[in-house]
A and B are shown apart, each in its own frame.
Chain A
Amino acid sequence: MVRDWLKTPVAGADRTRRRSVADVIATPPEEIPARTDLRLRIIGGVAIALLAILTLRLWSLQVVNQKSYTRAVNANVTRTVAVAANRGVIADRTNTILVGNVVHYDVTLSLVDATADPTLCARLGALLNLPASKVLALAKNPSYLPYQPAPIATDVSAVVVQYLAEHRSDFPGVAVSSFLNRSYPNGGTLGSDILGWVGQINGQELAQSPNVGYLPTSQVGKAGVEQEYEQFLRGASGKDILLVDSSGSVIGTTHDVAPKSGDTVVLNIDANLQHHVEQLLHDQILQDRASVDPRSHQHPRATSGAVVVMDPRTGAVLALASYPNYNLNEWVGGISTKNYKNLLASGALNNYALSGLYTPGSTFKLISATAALNDKLLNPSSYYNDKGTFTVPKCTGKQAGCTFHDDETAGTGLVNLPLAIIRSSDVYFYNIGYLFWSEQGRYGTEPIQKVGTAYGLDSQTGIDMPTEAYSRIDSPSIRNAEHLKYPKAFPFDSWYTGDNVEMAFGQGGTVVTPMALANAYATFANGGTRYAPEVAAAVVRPDGSVAVRYAPRAIGTVPLPSSTRDPILQGLIGVVNNPTGTAYATFKQFATFSPRQLLVAGKTGTASNQKGQEPNSWFASFAPAYNPKYVVLAVIAEGGYGASAAAPVVAKVYNYLAAHPISSVVLPSAGHPPVAPKPLH
């Protein structure tokens, strides 16, 4: 063993060390020390050398780079914060604010600051009416880094804000930040379907629009005008450079890039008219639900409804109501998932004027009549005897639908085209459908659909709103396409005479949106030019200059020679003003204006639904008949007869229009910014 220990070191250079080990073995341990001094000194030397290297490093940090680190310390005491831009205002045509902004205050506190002072949470909680544990839990928000301020309370009162400002030193780290929320000075329900709501931007939206001034906290339009005109409304965020002390409290602002406010979007909508129209629709639907249909003896369900008021000369949308409706204030400060789901389930979020698809019923007779007269299928002044039923000639009777009934079982008697419109003779139009189909060689297979397309009834209207449904006119080609696509749901691919007969008076597979039908009547009213409906009139910058002025946008024409237009117009005027007209009694009852004051032309529609359901009630109209300024259309789904549910609404809208004619659009300017609304009347 001793040998072993002695043998291992061999190198001659280790001589001295080895000898000292030998000393150890030869002498008692406490007497002769055995150390390898060389190694000892090397270890000590290395340690001191390494510490000396650290000195060099300190020299480089503290002397050579001192300036840059001092700058970094200064960076620690300044903080760049983004300042959200004021979202643009939405105003109506009278320069009244429809959507504005309101400042509200949030209290924020970082987790580091919350734990730095254990009594802080309790004191802040007492001020905000929150338990201390809740304050701490809110500061622990995992979305924020521990030293980032997390929101503790939103929308605190001005009293609290002032108290915190005056007692800043008692609340280290507690900050108050101001936010802008959308405000609806007319109440959250006015025009909610047009205006739409805003919500916090999501990651996808943020990624899609880089470098336009969005912040992760930005509010963006999620529906309606807010969404459609987002690019004007959003503005651009700015920057503030804040001086903060070591506890993170702001002690001053050194420099800032001012945020750029969003532009004002001016709508063609008239707030008072809109309010009135919404109220009328709402009242009518509730009244409808309470009434009893004299023929079916049941309460109409009146599930939904819409009213469109347009200017036929420009396509400007003056009012657009949809029922059921919702309150935009639900979105202010964030809507809860539960509330959102409830709204979604109730259908209130649908804008029925744009996305409700309804069978047009007799209101479609405008299109059939235009097609028949333009194609000279019949002479408008020849009479036809409506005996109450129409049987398709040579029909074998094997298929259902050889015989069609008039709504009036007795028939309307001898009618020419204006009278057929006035009295809504279905048989007269069955005959048109039959004649077109039986003379395909001369008029083609889809002559009515062709005119319907020109009126804009088998597409979108092109309105400046983010969502809009496609209207559709039933036709042999659609039936064939549907059969090929969904053979089970649509077992028939053939088009029979009976189908053409049904189509000609607006039944069958034809569905249109209220907006599309209103625009079709507007096209007829103005003599044949189809404009894209426009909700917005202009965009005005915060300094009062006009960024965009939207001109009427003509997107199609319908040839309407006087040989076509006059007989139809005569019929439409008669509907309201001829004692045998379907809406005569209604207007007699409700209209407060004389025909001399405002001559209304219109058409009722009663579109059959499934068995057991009340029909959809329509009334499409324009006025004054010979120089149209307004198109007013109302529809109430499952509302009963056109004359009993929809026509009263329209009559009352004209009451308002006769008393309060709509003036031209007033744009805000530098001296005249949009004003807060007066109470609506």
Chain B
Amino acid sequence: MPLRRPPRTERLRPESHRRQPTRPSRRLRRTLNSLALASMPGEALGVIVVVGLLSIFGLIMVASASAQPSVASYGNSWQFSVLQGFFLVFGVAVAGLVAKIRFDVWRPYASLGLGISLTSLVAVFFMSPTIGGAQRWIPLGIVNVQPSEFAKLIVVIWVAHHVATQLAGRPTQANVVIPALGVAGAFFGLIYFEPDLGTASIVVFSVLAILLIGGISMRWFLPIAGAGLLVGMAAVLFSTYQRARIANLFDQGHHWLQGNYQLHQSKTALGSGGIFGNGLGQGTLKWGAIPNPHTDFIFSVIGEEFGLVGTVAVLLLFMVLVGLGVRIATRAPSTYGAFLAMGITTWLGLQTLINVASVVGFFPVTGVPLPFISYGGTSLVVDLMAAGLLVSVALSIPRGRLTTVHDAPTAATTARARSDAHRRTSPATPAPRGGSRRAPVTRPRTTR
């Protein structure tokens, strides 16, 4: 879509502009222009497109998969779809806001947010209704909010802030690592006992990813990773619920009526979809055979209705998202932004991995939603907020040649962009060049 910049003249003459009756086409163009898509770094645009595609496809799939559970809960087949649509609109609005505002605006409130998040996670144990054997929700009138979803975002923000702050001062491994691990451990514990092992481990892995790229030494990291592995194994073994799921994982051929039922049905749905699927809305197993077809197992509904084409397309979109996230992290001009981007990317990637792996029978079923696609208000809104933050970080990437959408990158524009970037991002200290020293990451790659 060739989005043109508004003609210079119009910007210079606001009066005449105001006098003109605004035609819808013009208003649309103005709105689009205000989003400044054209002037946006490619990473930001990429995230918007990928997340947009996933969210819209997700809404369609929720509409397809949720008819039976919706009838079971509300007596009509469209209730979940309408709710999800509402959450999508709300989430996009919030995400747009988050993307527009500079991401470090939230930084001073990181500790406050952490406190609120911890409190809400504790409150869950006292307030939550028990749904499907778990207590994960705080009832707020018309909706149940899931604090563990917010916790992922807040922990990532806080740890990014913490590590970035430490690195800016006089960091020691201990000062950086121990508070981050403390926070990770506290959140893991609270979420694990809801129980929600999937989300709990996503929190821990996101923190570890930030620490890793924050320069944690292997002397610290390896013992931590080892201890984490032990804790993880213990967590699985001490939870009968997870133990049964693990046992099912290794016994997929048998007793499917007792415990492996959902996995068996999920694989059947995927398998019967074949390469091209049965077509949207043509799935049969979502009618009571697959449990939670609109939440945890929506991927198997995608598989049945869109086949391998659909499932691989969704996976590819997530891979692109991860790639974009990594790219944003490497290019972000500030450490905080980079950590934020990395934490969010790890979280979204890992959540996708866990959900899809459990749906295909590679991993015990933990009840983790597929980002942007599964039904769930809190999950969708928080995922979109995270995507907004990612866009916000991406927008901070200095515009190099990537901003020139119309012009093919020539040697001249590339050179100009490079020098631009240098001027803008490192005015105080000249960037070290040449020799064995590696150039700062903000320098646009010449090999593009």
Contact = CB atoms under 8 A, between A and B. Distances in A.
A16 interface: yes
A40 B329 contact: yes
A40 B167 contact: no
Contact of B345 (A23, A35, A44): A44
B382 interface: no
A44 B303 contact: no
A52 B319 contact: yes
Interface string A1-23: 11011001101000011011101
B438 A20 contact: yes
B164 A73 contact: no
A502 B160 CA distance: 110
B288 A246 contact: yes
Nearest to B212: A39
Given A16-B438, A72-B268, A59 B72 contact: no
Nearest to B432: A23
Interface residues of B, number: 80
B180 interface: no
Given A31-B426, A61-B271, A19 B437 contact: yes
Given A23-B440, A40-B326, A117-B75, A35 B213 contact: yes
Nearest to B342: A40
B356 A54 contact: yes
Interface string A26-46: 111111111111011101100
Nearest to B333: A33
B303 A29 contact: no
Interface string B249-286: 00000000100000010011111111100000000110
Interface stretch (A63-71, A190-198, A455-463, A671-679): A63-71
B315 interface: yes
Contact of A48 (B322, B346, B350, B426): B322
A62 B357 contact: no
Interface in A88-121: 112, 115-119
Contacts of B287: 246-247
B270 A69 contact: yes
Contacts of B428: 27-28, 31
A4 B322 contact: no
B270 A61 contact: yes
A423 to B, nearest CB: 79
A51 B268 CA distance: 21
A25 to B, nearest CB: 8
A57 B303 CA distance: 12
A263 B220 CA distance: 82
B442 A48 contact: no
A246 B290 CA distance: 12
A165 interface: no
A21 B171 CA distance: 10
A291 interface: no
A9 to B, nearest CB: 5
Interface centre among A5, A20, A25, A147 (most CB of B within 10 A): A5
Contacts of B75: 117-119
B371 interface: no
B170 interface: yes
Nearest to A43: B209
Interface centre among A8, A59, A77 (most CB of B within 10 A): A8
A25 B315 CA distance: 39
A469 interface: no
A70 B164 CA distance: 53
Contacts of A37: 330, 441
Contact of B335 (A24, A39, A47): A24
A81 B353 CA distance: 40
Contact of B272 (A34, A50, A72): A72
A43 B212 contact: yes
Interface in B170-201: 170-175
B335 A34 contact: yes
A30 B352 contact: no
Nearest to A44: B326
B68 interface: yes
A378 interface: no
Contact of B173 (A4, A43, A54, A59): A4
A169 to B, nearest CB: 14
A61 B219 CA distance: 41
Interface centre among B268, B289, B334 (most CB of A within 10 A): B268
B173 A69 contact: no
A145 B71 CA distance: 20
Contacts of A115: 72
A55 interface: yes
Interface in B68-113: 68, 71-72, 75
B341 to A, nearest CB: 9
Given A34-B215, A55-B312, A61 B360 contact: yes
A76 interface: yes
B106 to A, nearest CB: 15
A58 B284 CA distance: 19
A57 B174 CA distance: 41
Given A31-B429, A33-B334, A35-B329, A68 B271 contact: yes
Contacts of A31: 425-426, 428-429
B315 A54 contact: yes
A40 B330 contact: yes
Given A65-B271, A73-B269, 18 more contacts: A21-B215, A29-B164, A30-B334, A30-B335, A31-B425, A32-B440, A33-B333, A33-B334, A33-B442, A35-B213, A35-B329, A40-B338, A48-B322, A61-B271, A66-B273, A66-B275, A72-B272, A247-B288
10 contacts: A2-B171, A4-B172, A27-B429, A30-B168, A34-B167, A34-B335, A63-B275, A63-B308, A116-B72, A246-B284
In the complex, the 5 A-B pairs of residues with the closest C-beta atoms, listed nearest first: A69-B271, A29-B168, A44-B326, A246-B287, A8-B217
